[in-house]
């Protein structure tokens, strides 16, 4: 139980931050891909 509490304190926050960062990076990559494909069309 102590391990679980320890994880809930700091690790879950850093874990959420990591997931958010990865998610934002994926969105950025998709955005850049769309922009590039749009530039090809125009």
Please write the tens of the pLDDT for every residue from 2-41: 555 555 556 777 888 899 999 999 999 999 888 877 776 6
As given in the structure block, the two tokens for residue 31 are 């955005």
pLDDT at residue 15, as a whole number: 84
Q: What is the pLDDT of residue 26?
A: 95
Spatial CA neighbour of 21 closest among 1, 4, 8, 13: 13
pTM over the 0.85 mark: no
The pLDDT score that the predictor gives to residue 10 is: 66
Predicted pLDDT at 27: 94
CA distances to 21, 24, 32 from 27, rounded to whole Å, are 10, 5, 9
pLDDT, residue 1, reads: 46
């Amino acid at each position: 139980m102590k391990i679980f509490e320890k994880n809930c304190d700091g690790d879950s926050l850093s874990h959420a931050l990591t997931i958010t960062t990865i998610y934002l990076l994926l969105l950025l990559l998709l955005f850049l891909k769309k922009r590039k494909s749009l530039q090809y069309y125009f």
